[in-house]
A and B are shown apart, each in its own frame.
Chain A
Amino acid sequence: MSETNERISKIVNDADVVLFMKGTPLFPQCGFSNRAVSILDHCGVAFDSVDVLQDMEIRQGIKAYSDWPTIPQLYVKGEFVGGSDIMMEMFEAGELQTLMNEKQVAKAESE
């Protein structure tokens, strides 16, 4: 396993929910990343994020790791869930909320 893959593996296994995105949740740098953050906010779950624009190795490495060509990418409990389109399809069908409940991920702290 390459060094980059090991880093990615550690990232996706250390947190319940990880979003690989362009920018940060407060300042997303792309419409698709923005949409992914909104969906997770609506689900009310706590999540970590990785700004791929700050790390070229991760930016390229995550595409190979997931065998998925675009960013954002969502991981839940170490498992690849999909990009923003899949997140939206699942959210609208209620499946994403069900997945989060089933995986027993931490809720976001209420404000």
Chain B
Amino acid sequence: MPMAAARIEALIKEALPDATVEMEPLVDDNDHWLARVTSAQFAGKSRVQQHKMVFAALGERMGGELHALQLHTAVPN
């Protein structure tokens, strides 16, 4: 089952309340998304650690129903 962008965004914000999350469709099928996540909590973390923080927010879904989620993480300027 595809997952709506709003649901993905809500899960990320639940775990990282300060985050800004921008969802961009990669393909127009409501299933392939690019999430741009910016959070001060990423400061001082490696890219792998930053992505793992977002994976943790999405729990078991990542790699399963969310195989087609592309991820960009950044620290706010």
Give the interface of A toward B (CB within 8 A): 32, 63, 67-70, 80-83, 85-86, 89-90
A89 touches B72 (CB 8 A): yes
A63 to B63, CA, bound (A): 9
- Of B47, B52, B67, most A-chain CB atoms within 10 Å: B47
| Residues of B in contact with A (beta carbons under 8 Å apart) | 47-48, 51-52, 55, 62-64, 67, 70-72
List residues of chain B with CB within 8 A of the CB of A69.
55, 62-64
Q: Are A70 and B72 in contact (CB under 8 A)?
A: no
Shortest Cβ gap from B29 to chain A (Å) = 13
Sample (29) of A-B pairs whose CB atoms are under 8 Å apart: A32-B70, A63-B63, A67-B52, A68-B48, A68-B52, A68-B55, A69-B55, A69-B62, A69-B63, A69-B64, A70-B62, A70-B63, A70-B67, A80-B48, A81-B48, A82-B47, A82-B48, A82-B51, A83-B51, A85-B51, A85-B70, A85-B71, A85-B72, A86-B47, A86-B48, A86-B51, A89-B47, A89-B72, A90-B47
